Amino acid sequence: MNVGVIGTGLMGLPMAQRVLQAGLSLTVYNRTTAKLEPLRQAGATIASSPEALIRDCTAIVLMLTNADAIRSVLFESARTELAGKTIIQMSTIAPTESKAIQSEVTAAGGDYLEAPVLGSTPEATDGKLIVMVGGTEEQFDRWLDLLKCFGPEPRLLGPVGSASAVKLALNQLIGSLTAAFGASLGFVVQQGVDAEAFMQILRGSALYAPTFDKKLQRMLDRNFANPNFPTKHLLKDMRLFRTEADSLGLDARTIAAVEEILNQTIDLDLADADYSALFSAIVPPS
């Protein structure tokens, strides 16, 4: 079996490396060819185009920016290559988008399942991502060994759309929790309270989430370089969540507020910074 990976950015690169480490044959494609060099040196085949990769592979893993990028890769010139191939979509997109892509892949004679992941580059490198699967039991069983390259215990959540919904809900929490923590941290610090004294109380309470400590020093130092998850990507996910929530009749005003904070963060030229940079929008430098 030849596995293809399209998209070798922050997450796609270490995930592709995990496929090679499992001893599987790997073909890769990325618009920026320089990002493929570590994989070429490790033994991967470099495809000249998405359609060439799809033609040569049995299973194609997608780790792309958004649904528009996925549609471009799959349907602009490679649609005729999809028959008999399995597309494993692992990016964060909306449930409605995932279902629509499934319909197009199926109409072209291919098979489709979603398997978005929770975690960042360290977990991807170590094969410890949380892999959430939307598909059938038959698909899950067939591709379980491949999915275990990325995380030890992939979990089938239901049909296509289910895993995308859970992933988007989790990413919404990333934005909302980080914004709420940034506001509280900025408040106590500007009141003259020692940040560590505040954290000691927080850590001993039911309010604590480990992500607070992961972002604490970044916020205190205002050091948002070398991101595992850039601000612009979190903004994309918050927008997707709000759009889906609106369609379900949910009150998404709190989500819209976080979205606006992220917009302000990007206006500060922090689009490519770690998403904890939203602290700079909430607590402007004095």
Domain count, the chain: 2
Is-contact 160 102, C-beta < 8 A? yes
Is-contact 284 219, C-beta < 8 A? no
Residue by residue, pLDDT tens for the chain (286 residues) are 899 999 999 999 999 999 999 999 999 999 988 889 999 999 999 999 999 999 999 999 999 999 999 999 999 989 999 999 999 999 999 999 999 999 999 999 999 999 999 999 999 999 999 999 999 999 999 999 999 999 999 999 999 999 999 999 999 999 999 999 999 999 999 999 999 999 999 999 999 999 999 999 999 999 999 999 999 999 999 999 999 999 999 999 999 999 999 999 999 999 999 999 999 999 998 7
pLDDT of residue 15: 97
Active site residue 167: yes
Do residue 138 and residue 9 come from a single domain?
Answer: yes
The pTM assigned to this predicted structure is: 0.94
pLDDT of residue 35: 87
Do residue 153 and residue 12 come from a single domain?
Answer: yes
Is-contact 3 59, C-beta < 8 A? yes
Do residue 200 and residue 63 come from a single domain?
Answer: no
Is-contact 201 180, C-beta < 8 A? no
Do residue 75 and residue 123 come from a single domain?
Answer: yes
Do residue 97 and residue 190 come from a single domain?
Answer: no
pLDDT of residue 286: 79
Helical residues (DSSP H) of the chain, grouped into ranges: 12-21, 37-41, 50-56, 67-75, 95-107, 121-126, 137-147, 162-190, 195-203, 210-221, 231-247, 253-267, 278-282
- Domain range for residue 273? 164-282
Give CA–CA dist 156/114, Å, rounded.
10
Do residue 28 and residue 152 come from a single domain?
Answer: yes
Which residues, other chains included, contact 169 with Cβ-Cβ below 8 Å and sequence gap of 6+? Answer: 241
Which residues, other chains included, contact 73 with Cβ-Cβ below 8 Å and sequence gap of 6+? Answer: 6, 50, 62, 64
Query: Which of 131, 159, 187 is where one domain is finished?
Result: 159
CATH number at residue 32: 3.40.50.720
Which of the following is catalytic: 35, 99, 167, 236? 167
DSSP string of 61-107, one letter each residue: EE--SSHHHHHHHHHSS-GGG-TT-EEEE-S---HHHHHHHHHHHHH
Query: Which of 159, 191, 218 is where one domain is finished?
Result: 159
Do residue 191 and residue 274 come from a single domain?
Answer: yes
pLDDT of residue 172: 98
Matching residue, tokens 């990507």: 233
pLDDT of residue 169: 98
Do residue 20 and residue 148 come from a single domain?
Answer: yes
Beta bridge partners of 132: 155
Do residue 8 and residue 109 come from a single domain?
Answer: yes
Give CA–CA dist 121/15, Å, rounded.
9
Give CA–CA dist 126/93, Å, rounded.
24
Q: Are strands 117-118 and 130-134 parallel, antiparallel or unpaired?
A: antiparallel
pLDDT of residue 34: 87
Do residue 176 and residue 136 come from a single domain?
Answer: no
Do residue 176 and residue 109 come from a single domain?
Answer: no
Read off the pLDDT of residues 33-54 as tens digits, 9 standing for 90 and up.
888 999 999 999 999 999 999 9
CATH number at residue 188: 1.10.1040.10
Read off the pLDDT of residues 103-149 as tens digits, 9 standing for 90 and up.
999 999 999 999 999 999 999 999 999 999 999 999 999 999 999 99
pLDDT of residue 36: 94
Which candidate, 148, 151, 217, 146, places its Cα nearest to that of 181? 217
